[in-house]
Every structure is written in structure tokens, then in C-alpha cells.
Amino acid sequence: MLVQDLKKDLKKDLNERMEEIARDCMGDAPSYCVATCPLHVDARGYIKHIAEGNYKESVKLIREKLPFPAIMGRICAHPCEEKCKRNELNQPMAIAALKRFAAQYDEEADWDLTKEDATGKKVAVIGLGPAGALAAYDLAKKGHDVTVFEALPVMGGMLRVGIPAYRLPREIIDREFSILEKLGVNVRLNTRVGTDITFEDLQKEFDAVLITVGSHKSAMLNIPGSDLAGILPGVDFLRDASLGNKVELGKRVVVIGGGNVAIDVARTAWRLGADEVELVCLERDYNEMPAHSWEIEDAEKEGVKINCGWGPKEFLGDNGRVKGVSLKKCTAVFNSEGKFSPEYDENTTRTIEADNVIIAIGQITDSSFIPEQLGIERIRGSKFVVNPMTLETNVKGVFAAGDAAGPPLLAVEAMAAGRKAAISIDRFLKGQDMTIDREYEGAYETWLETEIPENTERLPRVEMPTIPVEKRKGNFNEVELGLTEEQARREAERCLECECKLCVKECEFLADVCEYPKELMKKLLEDPYTDIKLPYYCNLCKTCTVHCPKDFEISEIMLDLRRKYVREGKAPLPEHKPVYKFHQRFGVSSLFTLTYPDRKAGFTKRVFFPGCSFPSYSPELVTKTLAYLQEKLPGTGFVLRCCGAPTYALGQEKRFREIFDSLLAEIQKLGAEEIICACPDCTHNIEHHAPSWLKVSSLYVVLDEIGIPQEAKDRGRGRVFSIHDSCSSRDYSDIQESVRNLITEMGYKIQEMKNIKGKTRCCGFGGMVVPINPELSLRNMKRRVSETDKDIITYCAACRESMIMGGGQALHILDLIFNDKWQEIGIPGNTGTLKSWLNRWRTKSMVRKL
């Protein structure tokens, strides 16, 4: 047994390799931004649409996961951007800004209002904030009868009364939330559960209840002076400002808190007339503040003074009204266990004068509308305790989501929680298991692994245009203006389009049969006979492996499937009859084979092996090449026959072994120990299967070493060619470099194609695909030719034929070396089957005359 055959036997069996790809292929791995997005909005996809100018398609794709693109394009905290691969170069993509741009092209006429058949089940949703809105939307789409109870007179919850209008115009909320009523959701505003309707009544009337009341109550400070007039709860302040209620503020306002709500409070106070706004927070610097960096920057632009590292000691007053805040230095915010436990230096203090102090240190869920006797479990009478997977409370049929059921959430996270609850409720109402297949809900780490291509340009991020600061005072006009079309296109073009479908992008075969290899392997594992032709569509060129980060050898699997079919008597296929009935039979017949020693030298140390395609192309070039080798390397014999590569590609292991062994026998007859191959595919095939006594050399490496004929040097006169590297030469850098050396030595210039050397593309001829799928082969041929506007040089005769079939003009490198008349004659076309065999016979005849 040959060493190579032994290695083959030691490989994982076919099924194991297919299962490995089905398990570990990253083709279905979402991009970093998509996996991080709690709603898994296809940012990569919609950004690509924007880059291509397909704006309506962009917003259509967004709406597949998010029915509120204009809202979230404005206020989403975009955690996706933190995972953007462009961070490794400079700045992340402006994903949210691009979502907002796409939303400009969102027309109500295009909204998908289709629903599943009515289920007859009724669901009550308490609260119409981000969590409740998306839950109501999803449940309505599932065919359930949904009623939303909202205590406020307007839709939006904290989107409406917690986020100022300068960030989110109210007409945007009204427009996008209108889809709920269009879907048949019954929205009952000004309806407070516990006052206007009891929770018990909801339980009786509805099949399921979802609580999404958020956290609308401000946490307050219990320090001296906290009862003074002029100290306001932050949430109440924002609510009053949003609803147009009268808000009386003095000229000096101090905001306590370091989060986004505190920033919103400070910026709102400035708009409502405060001349001096100072923010006080425990955190030592901006980096430690919970507020987003861009929010802090905007606040400072508007004149808000931020005091980091201080905490309130007491509120100072006069005649029962606040006049200032005494602060003490904060030395630590968290203890050694990471828990919130502020420490202070009581001796280091300062005072800030204030007409109003607004507390924005956190929010509390008010769940007092549910009587204790109902037994719904809560944490300290506030937030609801839920199953983290299903969001169901301890009471069957009662669910809770959003801020009411856990720590504070971003708006996008609250929406994702609403969707999670909707999935559970839908299954609950249908009597299905609520726990299966839930692992990819919400944000998660993708299993994608990609590298940024070399020489990727560090394109700067497009900044969002804003109105000047001086035009913001005294009004709530939207600050951010949105990207222009030119800006959006420019920003979208920065996207690296992170995904692992490199093999599918490069391989026409894979692109035809699957979205990614994992899908194909699962299909073949389930039924390897689903399409017996399928493995024969593969060129066996290994381009997929070259581009695969995990080095999966799909071509080897396709080859092993062919072998499996042959062993089972299902292959080769009828379309391959010309190959196995005629080509391989004639290729080893006495009529078209020749074993010939170096008669002039009187001994034979090596043989020149032209393969099949080269003699079929030009007997004259074969003969001249042999004569030159015998001149420079006395003892060079000749073997004309097939190496068995076509049979090998068909999966006929036994027949291949017979043909290959017959070649070895002919070489041994001459006493040769080296074979010089003109065809790179023969080089690869023979080297892969050769015994240790046989040295395998490439003709082009040999010619580079011994030199070309003197008359061939400098005859090119600067004419420019492109070089097609055969896919079988991919692992032979010495062959690739020698070919380029030879062309340069002849005075020609080289314009390289895009895909060369180790990353060359298949010519479309290999793998015996032409007989079974000529259309696919032709596509590959044309694609390869399209990479250059120059005539092409090949060092494989079959590749030269492919370049011609693909619409190009191509010569074999040996034309340049040994055919001094080629420029007068012109570039030849293809020979056709009959002439090819005639040329094989002529080669045999001409060599005998040497």
C-alpha cells in the first residue's frame, strides 16, 4: 500500500467529515452586528441595500424584524456598533443613523398587515411602551385578539414621556405605532389598571395577560432637606415636559445622576429656560458614567456642566425651598464584589447653588395595581419575578417583560423582551412547549470568525448633521437632522459585510446548490442520493478550501461521494460515457500511447510526460520540447499515455489504479527515476500517488533551471499578457514563479489577474463537470476570462481550451518558447474531438522520428 493511500485510510470517514461541516460551518453565522442586536435586525443586509441605492428594499428588510424603524433609527443605543468589525480599524458603522435614513423611504402602503388565521384567543397587554408595543404587534400577527391598556393619554410609554422630543419627535411615534390599530389591536388610552379596570377582571376576560408597565417612578434620595420644595423627580419632570404640562424652573438647576435619564433631564431643563445647568454624579469620570458618551458630549455642547466624583450630602434650603446642594467627595462607587456601595470622604465638601434640584438616580416599577392576595411574586413589592426563559410569572397565564421584570433595559432590549414574551404567550395559547429553541433570542455571541482583508481602507465614519446649539434653546426641535443620500451611501460603503460565505461567493457550484455548506451537508446526510448528479457538479478545484477559515475540504467530500456511488454501481453517470468508455480507453490503448527511450543518449534517466491535453493541442510543441530536453538533459525519454486523472475524478478507484500502475510500469521499463510533467494536473495527480522511487518534476521549473532557447529570449518586445494559474498548481509556488520567470525572460510583460497563484480560480474544465453540467462549466470559464482584458497565457492545455471557450484569447506558454511563428499565425482556437485524437496519433508518430 502506498503512503498516500494509507493516509487516506486514516482520514475521518465520509459521514464524520460531512457531520463536522454540518456542525461547524459558519455560513449560517450572523454577522457581529446582527447577533448583538437584541432584535436581530439584518443590519448587514439593509446597509448593503443602501450602498446599492435600494432604499425601499432596505426599509423593507428592517421591517421584517422591526416595525418601528424611524423610532429606533433615532433613539436606539445601537449596541450592535460596539461589536462592529470596523472598530478594529477606526470607527464602527453608523448603523442606527443608516436605519433612520432608510426609514425615510418607508411608506404606509408598503406595510405588511397580513396576519395568521384568527385563533379566538384574547391577550391583554398592560402598558404601551417599547416592550408592550412589539409584543402587541407580534401577537396580533399571530392571529390573537390583542387589547392594550395604557394609563397615559398617548401611545409610546417611556418612548413618549421619557425621551425628549428633541431626540424623538412625537409625530414619528404616532405614525409608526399606528400599525397596531391597523392590525386590529384595540388600544385603550387613559385606562389605568387597578383604577379603571381591575387586574382580576383582566384575568377573567383574557386568556393571557402581559405586564409591560416599565419603571415610571423616580427613585428619590433620603438625605437632609429632601422634603424641600423645588426638588423634583426626574421621571415626573420629563413626563410633564413631554405632555406639555406646566413646568416651573428657576435659573439654576442641578441634576443628580449619571445615566441617560439624567442627561435627558439636564438638556430638557436647559431648553425650558434654565440658564445654568449642572449635573452631579458619583462616577469619577465620563468613562465610568452609565450615560452614553455621545449623550454626554451633546449635553456639554449645550452648556451642561458635569461634576464627576461627587455625591449629595444634604439639600440646603430657605423658607422651605431648596437653595443649593452640599456635596461630598465620592471615593468609590462599587465595593470589591462589584456591588453598588458608595464610599465618601466626608471632610471634602463643596456647595452648588440651585433653584431646583432634579433627582435622576434610577427608576422604580409601580406594581401596586395588582393586589397582594393574587399571589404574583414580586421583588420588594415592585418588579415581577419571571421565568427568565419564558417571562411567565408564578401565576399561570400571567407574563411580564421589559423594565417591570428585571434591570433597566435599553429601548431595543425592551422590545426584544416584548418579543420574547409574545413567543411564550403564543405557545402558551396553543398548548406548545414554551422552553424549546429559545437560545438565540436576544443578543448573543455569534460563532462567526472573520479577518479584515489586507489593505482595507480606513474610511472615516460619516458624522450625523445637527442643528447649531444656539438654535436649540427654548424649543424641542429635533437636534439630529439625518444623513443626506450622499452621506448615507458613503457611510454604507464602509460596511465590511461580515459573513462567512466566502466559499459560496467564490464557487459557482456551491452558489447553485446551497446558501452555505452546512445546509448542503445536512441535505446529503439526510439523503446522499437526493440528487446523484450533484457531486459531479464540483470541479474538485479546492477553491472552497482555500477560502474557508476552517479548511473544510468540500471537494474531497464530493469526490468521496462519487467513489461511494461507483462502489454501489450508481456511477459513473451516462453523461460521462465519453470519458470512461472512450477517452480513458483510448488514452491507454496501443494506438495512442508510446514509451520511448532517449536513443541519442543511449540511456534513460527521466521521462518527459506531456499528459493528454497538450499532445491533443500541438504535436509540434510536444516534439520540440522533448528535443530541447534531450539536448539539455541527455537521458530524457518519453511516455505518451494518460495518468488516469479523469478516471480518478469520476470516482473509479479500481480503474484509476489500473491506469496509474500501467504508467508506472512504462516508466520502469525505461529504467527512469524521474518524470517531467507538462501538465500541472498531471504533476499533482502523479505526485499525490507516486511511489517514493519516482521523482516528480514540473517542466516549467526544469526549464527555468536549464534556461530557455537563446532565440526565445527577449522576443516579447514588451507585449502584455495575463497568466492563468491552474487550480491544480495552487500549492506549487515554484511552478507559478518559474512560469513568470520564463515569460519575463522572453521579454513579455505581465498584467496579473485578480485571483492568482494560491488563490487562483478554476478554469471550469476540471472534475469532469463539462459533460454533466456544461452551463455551469461555461459560467466558470467566462468568469475567469472576465478578470482581464489581455490575452491569456496558460501552462495547462486544458485551461487554454477553457479560456477560449470562455470567450478569451489564450496561448500555451510553450507556444511562446518553441513556436517562433505564433505571432504570424495568430492565436489558435480549439481543435475539436476528432482532431484532438488525430494530434495524439501525430505526436506518437513525430516523436518516433527524433
433 within some domain: no
Instruction: Give the DSSP per-residue string, 138-191.
Output: HHHHTT-EEEEE-SSSSS-THHHHTS-TTTS-HHHHHHHHHHHHHTT-EEETT-
Of the listed ranges 252-266, 291-305, 569-583, the least confidently predicted one is 569-583
Residue 579: band (very low, low, confident or very high) from pLDDT cuts 50, 70, 90: confident
Same domain, residue pair 160 and 92: no
- CATH number at 298 reads 3.50.50.60
For the cut 80, the answer to whether the pLDDT of residue 325 exceeds it is yes
| DSSP-based three-state secondary structure for 480 | strand
Choose the final residue of a domain: 492, 526, 546. Answer: 492
Same domain, residue pair 625 and 523: no
Same domain, residue pair 696 and 587: yes
- Write down the pLDDT at residue 815: 95
Q: What is the pLDDT of residues 512-544, one digit of tens each?
A: 999 999 999 999 999 999 899 999 999 999 999
- Write down the pLDDT at residue 381: 85
Same domain, residue pair 700 and 744: no
| DSSP-based three-state secondary structure for 707 | coil
Residue 404: band (very low, low, confident or very high) from pLDDT cuts 50, 70, 90: very high
- Write down the pLDDT at residue 580: 81
For the cut 50, the answer to whether the pLDDT of residue 9 exceeds it is no
Show the cell assigned to 831: 481543435
Cα-flanking dihedrals φ and ψ of residue 670, to 5°?
-85, -10
Neighbours of 175 (CB within 10 A): 15
- Write down the pLDDT at residue 724: 98
Neighbours of 315 (CB within 10 A): 24
Show the cell assigned to 650: 469520476
Instruction: Select from 378, 456, 363, 368 the least CA-distant residue to 414.
Output: 363
Same domain, residue pair 742 and 768: yes
423 within some domain: no
Distance of alpha carbon 759 from alpha carbon 761, whole angstroms: 7
Does residue 572 have a cis peptide bond before it, meaning omega lies within 30 degrees of 0?
yes
- Write down the pLDDT at residue 581: 82
For the cut 80, the answer to whether the pLDDT of residue 469 exceeds it is yes
416 within some domain: no
Name every residue whose Cβ is closer than 8 Å to that of residue 826 and which is 6 or more positions away in sequence: none
Q: What is the pLDDT of residues 711-737, one digit of tens each?
A: 999 999 999 999 999 999 999 999 999
393 within some domain: yes
Residue range(s) defining the domain that contains residue 673: 576-706
Same domain, residue pair 224 and 351: yes
Choose the final residue of a domain: 533, 553, 569. Answer: 569
DSSP state of 578: I
Distance of alpha carbon 677 from alpha carbon 696, whole angstroms: 7
Same domain, residue pair 721 and 792: yes
Q: What is the pLDDT of residues 111-170, one digit of tens each?
A: 999 999 999 999 999 999 999 999 999 999 999 999 999 999 999 999 999 999 999 999
117 within some domain: no
Q: What is the pLDDT of residues 781-835, one digit of tens each?
A: 999 999 999 999 999 999 999 999 999 999 999 999 999 888 777 677 777 788 9
Name every residue whose Cβ is closer than 8 Å to that of residue 230 and which is 6 or more positions away in sequence: 250, 321, 322, 354, 355, 356, 357
For the cut 90, the answer to whether the pLDDT of residue 334 exceeds it is yes
Same domain, residue pair 584 and 613: yes
Domain count for the chain: 6
Same domain, residue pair 724 and 735: yes
Q: What is the pLDDT of residues 617-646, one digit of tens each?
A: 999 999 999 999 999 999 999 999 999 999
Mean pLDDT of the chain: 95
- Write down the pLDDT at residue 201: 97
Share of the chain above pLDDT 70, in %: 98
Residue 4: band (very low, low, confident or very high) from pLDDT cuts 50, 70, 90: very low
Beta carbons of 466 and 480 less than 8 angstroms apart: yes
Same domain, residue pair 23 and 39: no
Give, in degrees to the nearest 5, the angle at Cα 70 between 69 and 75: 95
Mean pLDDT confidence for 409-420 = 98
Instruction: Select from 179, 82, 187 the least CA-distant residue to 127.
Output: 187
For the cut 70, the answer to whether the pLDDT of residue 88 exceeds it is yes
User: What are the b/e assignments for 403-413, b being 16+ CB within 10 Å?
Assistant: bbbbebbbbbb
Mean pLDDT confidence for 708-713 = 96
Same domain, residue pair 294 and 358: yes
Bridge partners, 722 (sequence order): 792
- CATH number at 827 reads 3.40.50
Same domain, residue pair 106 and 199: no
CA atoms within 13 A on the CB side of 121: 21
Beta carbons of 342 and 282 less than 8 angstroms apart: yes
For the cut 60, the answer to whether the pLDDT of residue 99 exceeds it is yes
842 within some domain: no
- CATH number at 455 reads 1.10.1060.10
Beta carbons of 211 and 143 less than 8 angstroms apart: no
282 within some domain: yes
Q: What is the pLDDT of residues 483-519, one digit of tens each?
A: 999 999 999 999 999 999 999 999 999 999 999 999 9
413 within some domain: no
Name every residue whose Cβ is closer than 8 Å to that of residue 112 and which is 6 or more positions away in sequence: 63
Distance of alpha carbon 494 from alpha carbon 474, whole angstroms: 37
Residue 8: band (very low, low, confident or very high) from pLDDT cuts 50, 70, 90: very low
Q: What is the pLDDT of residues 642-697, one digit of tens each?
A: 999 999 999 999 999 999 999 999 999 999 999 999 999 999 999 999 999 999 99
Distance of alpha carbon 643 from alpha carbon 646, whole angstroms: 8
- Write down the pLDDT at residue 832: 79
Choose the final residue of a domain: 646, 674, 706. Answer: 706
Show the cell assigned to 3: 503512503
- Write down the pLDDT at residue 1: 32
Sign of CA dihedral 95, 101, 105, 108: positive
Strands across the sheet containing 208-211:
186-188, 145-149, 122-126, 208-211, 398-400
Neighbours of 3 (CB within 10 A): 11
- Write down the pLDDT at residue 821: 82
Show the cell assigned to 79: 449596541
